[in-house]
A and B are shown apart, each in its own frame.
Chain A
């Protein structure tokens, strides 16, 4: 695993997130569920807690967008880049953007939203890309069954270096 230069991380364990818009590829309920489960990947192994907010500011702002969308890192249409997220910090820090030109799914067809969201939230929390194939933070997308998904040892060690272990 790797962290970003300077090891940016949140200095609190209670984090808020906001979903500002939805993809038409999935029902809102399915998007909400995928996002919630993606956060759980990380809260299951750390003291972090994630709370969804609907109004006002949030630590992690989630949006679907296509092409240039105001952050200087335009998406590239279908394929290639699927999403990106920013390391912890004020403002855009921690925010996660998903390319609306992809076809998002809850299965192995097209691109699985849960898997990509869990990866992006790793960035939102301070993990950079891992070069360990099979790790969630490996940069290339590959499908695994979300029902049986397990965080790799590499990812777990990385996030626990930043935030410690979940107390039993």
Chain B
């Protein structure tokens, strides 16, 4: 039987998807700074008026899955 996927691998996929979303819609605009994923999630949460935790919680993931416009939310 195939081994069951580890919970953390699912979590890694979620984080990868979140990073992809942030790269697309909340791109890093400065070359000098490299904000942490937590900071980037916070930026997204602030924009959408979500509870700002810096964590990839259900509310944040739900927002990331919603149909939307392809133009970044932070204009570059």
Contact = CB atoms under 8 A, between A and B. Distances in A.
Interface in B1-41: 25
Interface of A: 2, 4-5, 73, 75, 79-85, 111, 116, 119-120, 123, 128-129, 131, 133, 139-141
Contacts of A73: 70
B73 A139 contact: yes
Contact of A83 (B63, B66, B69): B69
Interface string B47-71: 1110000000000000101111111
A141 B68 contact: yes
Interface residues of B, number: 16
Nearest to B21: A80
B25 A139 contact: yes
A128 B71 contact: yes
B47 A82 contact: no
B71 A80 contact: no
A84 B71 contact: yes
B70 A141 contact: no
Nearest to B69: A139
A111 B69 CA distance: 12
Contacts of B72: 129
Contacts of B76: 5
Contacts of B48: 131, 140
